[in-house]
Amino acid sequence: MKHELQASPVYGYYSDLKLEEIMHRTDWMIRKGYLEIEYSDRLPMIVFSDNGQYLLQEGQIK
């Protein structure tokens, strides 16, 4: 893959869920401060916040 997403431990994690459930969970993680929206030019990207990155590294987010 161009961006080597398959190397990410979280890539495809929600592949078994419907889009509505993925959006619900993503919105919840943004509201709780685990994810943030950053912009690259005009394109939004969802990224881990510092807190979310810490929890991921500590194994508390799977």
Strands (E), the chain: 35-40, 43-48
pTM of the model: 0.68
Residue among 18, 8, 10 at smallest CA distance from 62: 10
Q: Half-sphere exposure (CA, 13 Å, Cβ side) for 58? A: 7
pLDDT at 14 over 90: no
Looking at residue 61, its pLDDT comes to: 64
What pLDDT score does 45 carry?
92
Residue 30's pLDDT is: 94
Q: Residue 9 has what pLDDT?
A: 73
Is pLDDT above 70 for 20? Answer: yes
Residue 40 has pLDDT above 70, yes or no: yes
